[in-house]
Amino acid sequence: MIPEFHLLAGALLPLPAWAWLRHGARARASAWMLLDAAPVAALFLALLAVTERPVLAGGLAAGACVFLAVADRAKRATLDEPLAFTDGGLLWQVPAHPRFYLPFVPRAVLVGGIGAGVLAFVAVLVLEPAVALGLTGRAALLAAALALAGLVLRPLPLLRGAALARDPARDAARFGPLATFALHARLAGTERPARRAAHPPAPAVLRADEVSPHLVLLQLESFCDPRRFGLAQAMPCWDALAGMALSHGRLAVPGFGANTMRTEFVVLTGLDDAALGLDRLNPYFRFARAPVASLAWALGGAGYGTACLHPYDPRFFGRDRVLPALGFRRFEAADAFAGAPRENGLVTDAALGARIAAEIAAAEGPLFLYAITVAAHGPWPGPDPAAGWAARMAATDAMLGVVADAARACGRPVVLAAFGDHRPSLPAMRRGTDTDHLIWRSDVLAGGARQDLDAVGLHRAVRAALGMQSR
C-alpha cells in the first residue's frame, strides 16, 4: 500500500458516517456542507498528527460521527427533537449515569456497535503501519486542525449570512447538524451577556401586614395524573389538595419525556423562550452559571432561608454550580441521603417526603424549600412499563400527603406548589407535553379553581400565592 493511498483511505473513511449523520438530520446539499464537514476534518487531522495512522484516525473520526448519528436518532425517536449544541454539556452523564440514557438505544445497536468498534480499533492499531510524518508534517496537520476548529468555534462571518431559524431541527436540515451546532453555539454566546443583564437578581417586595409564609416547591419527576391516560391509579392526596387549591390543572412544559432543566429553570425564574433565546434548549449549560433573577434570589433578599433537596448526584445538569447562581444558599444532594431507603437504586419519595417534613418543622424563620424528586425516573422495568410508572405516581401522591400534613402542623402558613417536570417517555404519553400542577396554601380554604398554566404562569402564580409584587 503506497503512502498516498494509505492517507486517502483514512481521509475518506469518515465520509459514510458523516453522510449517515446528515441523512438522519434530513440535511440538504448546499455550500454549508463545508462548515458541516469542518469538525470531522479537524478531528481527522488532529488524530492523524497524534497517531501517524491514517486508517485509525479516519476510523475514530467515523466513530464519532456514528455516535452522534445514533444519539440523534434515539433523541428524535424518544423525545421528538434532534441533538442540540447544549447536549454537549450532558455527554459526561452518559457513562456516569447510563441508566438514564442507554435504555433508549436499541440493545443490538449498543452492544453490536461497541463490540465492532472495539474490535476494529484493536485490529487497526495492531495491523496498520505508521506513516512517518516527521515533526514538520505533524505541526502542519495540527495547524490545519486548529484553523478548522477556529472556524467552527467562531464562525462570525458565516453567522452574519446564515439567516438562522433558531430551531435545531429546521436549521440542521438546512445547514447540517454539525454546522448548526457551531452556528447556534456562537449565536447563543454572543447574545448571552445582554440576555442575562436584562434580568438581574432582586429582592422580593412582600406585604408587611402579614406573616411571611414558607414556600415548599416540589418538582415531581415524570409526574402527571395517570387517570388522564386511562390508568386506574388512585391519587387521594392529590385530589384532596386540588379540591382546596388556589390553583390546579394542566401545566404546559417545554419538552416531552426529558429536559427537566428547562421546566425547572422557567418555574424558578419566570423567564420565557424569548428571554433565553437559544439557551432555552438547556439553560443550565451556560446561561444559569451566573446570577440571574429567580425565586431564590427574590425570597433570600427578603429574609428567607433558601435550600434545595435533591437525593441524587449534585453534578447532574450542573446543579452544583447552577443552584448557587440561582440564589440557593444550601443544596443537599446524594450525600445527605446516604442512608435513605431506595427502590431500583433511587431514593424513595417517602424518604424525601420525611426529610421535607423535618425541614418544615425545624425552620425558625421563613423558608423557601425547593425539592426535586427522582424515584419515578424511567425506564420502568417489567412487562407493563405504564403500570410501573403509575405505581410510582402513587408513591409520589403519598409523599404529597406527608408534606401537606407537615404544613398543617406548622405554626407558620405554608404555600405548597407541586408540578411535573415532563411527561414520562412512554408511547401512550407522546401526544402532548403538558403535565399537572397545584398550588395550595395551608391557611387558605380555596375552592380548587381549575386553571391551566405554562411554566411562566406557574412562576407568577407562586409569587401571587406568597403575596409578592409582580415584576
Mean pLDDT of 438-450: 88
Cα 258 to Cα 422: distance, rounded to the nearest angstrom = 6
Mean pLDDT of 440-456: 90
User: How much is the pLDDT for 123?
Assistant: 63
pLDDT digits (tens, 9 = 90+) for 305-328: 999 999 999 999 999 999 999 999
Mean pLDDT of 117-138: 74
User: How much is the pLDDT for 155?
Assistant: 74
On the 0-12 / 13-18 / 19+ scale of CB atoms within 10 A, 376 is: buried
pLDDT-derived band at 161, boundaries 50, 70, 90 = low
- Contact by Cβ (8 Å): 398, 238: no
Q: Measuring CA to CA, which residue among 230, 151, 215 is closest to residue 186?
A: 151
For the four alpha carbons of 273, 275, 279 and 282, in that order, the dihedral sign comes to: negative
Cα 228 to Cα 232: distance, rounded to the nearest angstrom = 9
Domain range list for the chain: 3-195, 214-466
- Please check the confidence at residue 111 and state whether its pLDDT lies above 80: no
Q: Which cell numbers in the block locate residue 314?
A: 449534585
- What is the residue type of 153? L
- β-pairing, 434-441 vs 247-252, is antiparallel
User: How much is the pLDDT for 208?
Assistant: 65
User: How much is the pLDDT for 110?
Assistant: 63
Mean pLDDT of 106-123: 66
- Contact by Cβ (8 Å): 253, 437: no
- Please check the confidence at residue 282 and state whether its pLDDT lies above 50: yes
CATH number for domain 214-466, candidates 1.20.1260.10, 3.40.720.10, 3.40.50.280, 3.30.300.180: 3.40.720.10
Mean pLDDT of 18-23: 96
User: How much is the pLDDT for 471?
Assistant: 54
User: How much is the pLDDT for 1?
Assistant: 47
| Top-confidence range, 11-15, 236-240, 429-433 | 236-240
Output 364 or 127, whichever has higher pLDDT.
364
Mean pLDDT of 120-129: 68
Cα 218 to Cα 420: distance, rounded to the nearest angstrom = 9
> Euclidean distance between the first and final Cα of the chain, in Å?
71
Output 388 or 9, whichever has higher pLDDT.
388
- Please check the confidence at residue 44 and state whether its pLDDT lies above 90: yes
Contacts of 207 (CB under 8 A, 6+ apart): 467
pLDDT digits (tens, 9 = 90+) for 209-248: 678 999 999 999 999 999 999 998 999 999 999 999 999 9
pLDDT-derived band at 449, boundaries 50, 70, 90 = confident
* pLDDT above 90 coverage of the chain, percent: 67
pTM metric for this prediction: 0.90
Mean pLDDT of 291-300: 96
Q: Measuring CA to CA, which residue among 183, 189, 178 is closest to residue 82?
A: 178
Peptide bond into 379 cis (omega under 30): yes
What rounded mean pLDDT belongs to the chain? 90
pLDDT digits (tens, 9 = 90+) for 57-94: 899 999 999 999 999 998 998 888 999 999 988 888 87
Q: Which cell numbers in the block locate residue 99?
A: 441508566
pLDDT digits (tens, 9 = 90+) for 380-403: 888 899 999 999 999 999 999 999
- Please check the confidence at residue 126 and state whether its pLDDT lies above 70: no
